[in-house]
C-alpha cells in the first residue's frame, strides 16, 4: 500500500514534541500505532520500519522521545558516542514525562480523522519496547508490541525507577513480546521475571524468542538479523491485524 508522510508538532509541558506520521495514501480511516524508537530517536532504520508498517494499512505516529533534551529533528548516531548520549538522555528523562508524552500522542491519534475509532495500538524497540508497554496502561490502547523491551524487569527507564512491572495488571491490551535469545539487556532471568508477572496479572499475551541479539531489527548494525526480522514481522502484522476485530 502506498503511503504518505507528514510532521506534527505537539506541545507537552512547554516542550515541542515532533511526531513523524506515516499513513496510507488512499483516503479512509485506519487503525493507528503509537510507534516508539530506540535511544537513537528517528533515524533511517526506525523510519523504514515505521513506513513499512504504515504500508500494511496503519496510521503510524512516531514521537521524538528526548524532545525535552534534544533540538527538534535530532537523530543520535548509533556509535559509541551516540550510545552514551542516548543512554544519558534516557536517564535524564522523568518517568512522568514519558507518561505525559504518551497521553498527548494518544490523544492526538484519538482525534485524528484518519484513525478508526477504538483501534489504537503501541509498538516499540528497546527503550521504545518498554515505552510501548507502559503506554498500554492508558485506556483505549487495544494492543502493544514490545520488541526486546529493556528495563521492564529491572525498573530502569528514566531518571527515577519505573513501576511498569508492578502495574502490568492495569493493562487491558493484548501484548506481543519479542525477545532475542542472546540479548544481554534482557537476559533469561529478566525475561522470566516479565513472564511471571504477566501470568500473575492474567494478561493476554504472546511471547516469541528468536536466536538473535539485542536490537536485531535495526538494519544498520552488526546485530541485524534479516531472517529473525522477517519472521518477527510476520508475527507482528498478524498480531496487529486483529486490532479492529
| All structural domains of the chain | 3-241 (3.40.50.1820)
Q: What is the pLDDT of residue 243?
A: 76
List 130, 183, 205, 225, catalytic entry: 183
pLDDT digits (tens, 9 = 90+) for 29-53: 999 999 999 999 999 999 999 999 9
Torsion, Cα 203 217 43 183, to 10 degrees, reads: 70
Residue-wise burial string across 78-99, b where 16 or more C-beta atoms lie within 10 A, e elsewhere: beeebeebbeebbeebebebbb
List 112, 126, 133, 146, catalytic entry: 126
- SS3 state of residue 23: strand
Residue 220 has pLDDT above 80, yes or no: yes
Residue 237, number of CB atoms within 10 A of its CB: 15
pLDDT digits (tens, 9 = 90+) for 184-194: 999 999 999 99
pLDDT digits (tens, 9 = 90+) for 141-192: 999 999 999 999 999 999 999 999 999 999 999 999 999 999 999 999 999 9
Q: Report the range of poorest mean pLDDT among 46-50, 61-65, 239-243.
A: 239-243
pLDDT digits (tens, 9 = 90+) for 195-209: 999 999 999 999 999
Percent of the chain with pLDDT over 90: 98
Q: What is the pLDDT of residue 244?
A: 63
Is residue 204 among the annotated active site residues?
A: no
* Rounded average pLDDT over 135-140: 96
C-alpha cell read off for 163: 513501576
Is residue 130 among the annotated active site residues?
A: no
List 67, 130, 185, 214, catalytic entry: 214
Is residue 220 among the annotated active site residues?
A: no
pLDDT digits (tens, 9 = 90+) for 105-114: 999 999 999 9
Amino acid at each position: 500500500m502506498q503511503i504518505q508522510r507528514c510532521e506534527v508538532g505537539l506541545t507537552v509541558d512547554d516542550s515541542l514534541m515532533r511526531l513523524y506520521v506515516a499513513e496510507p495514501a488512499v483516503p479512509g480511516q485506519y487503525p493507528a500505532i503509537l510507534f516508539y524508537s530506540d535511544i537513537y530517536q528517528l533515524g533511517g532504520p526506525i523510519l523504514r520500519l515505521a513506513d513499512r508498517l504504515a504500508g500494511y494499512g496503519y496510521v503510524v505516529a512516531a514521537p521524538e522521545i528526548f524532545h525535552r533534551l534534544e533540538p527538534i529533528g535530532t537523530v543520535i548516531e548509533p556509535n559509541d558516542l551516540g550510545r552514551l548520549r542516548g543512554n544519558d538522555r534516557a536517564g535524564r528523562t522523568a518517568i512522568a514525562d514519558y507518561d505525559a508524552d504518551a497521553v498527548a500522542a494518544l490523544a492526538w491519534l484519538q482525534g485524528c480523522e484518519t484513525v478508526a475509532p477504538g483501534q489504537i495500538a503501541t509498538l516499540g524497540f528497546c527503550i521504545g519496547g518498554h515505552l510501548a508497554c507502559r503506554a498500554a496502561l492508558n485506556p483505549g490502547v487495544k494492543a502493544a508490541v514490545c520488541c526486546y523491551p529493556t528495563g521492564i524487569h529491572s525498573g530502569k527507564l528514566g531518571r527515577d525507577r519505573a513501576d511498569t512491572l508492578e502495574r502490568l495488571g492495569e493493562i487491558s491490551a493484548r501484548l506481543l513480546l519479542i525477545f532475542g535469545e542472546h540479548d544481554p539487556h534482557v537476559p533469561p532471568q529478566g525475561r522470566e521475571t516479565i513472564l511471571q508477572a504477566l501470568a500473575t496479572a492474567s494478561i493476554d499475551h504472546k511471547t516469541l524468542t528468536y536466536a538473535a541479539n539485542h536490537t536485531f531489527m535495526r538494519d544498520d548494525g552488526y546485530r541485524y538479523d534479516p531472517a529473525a526480522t522477517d519472521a518477527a514481522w510476520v508475527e507482528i502484522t498478524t498480531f496487529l491485524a486483529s486490532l479492529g476485530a
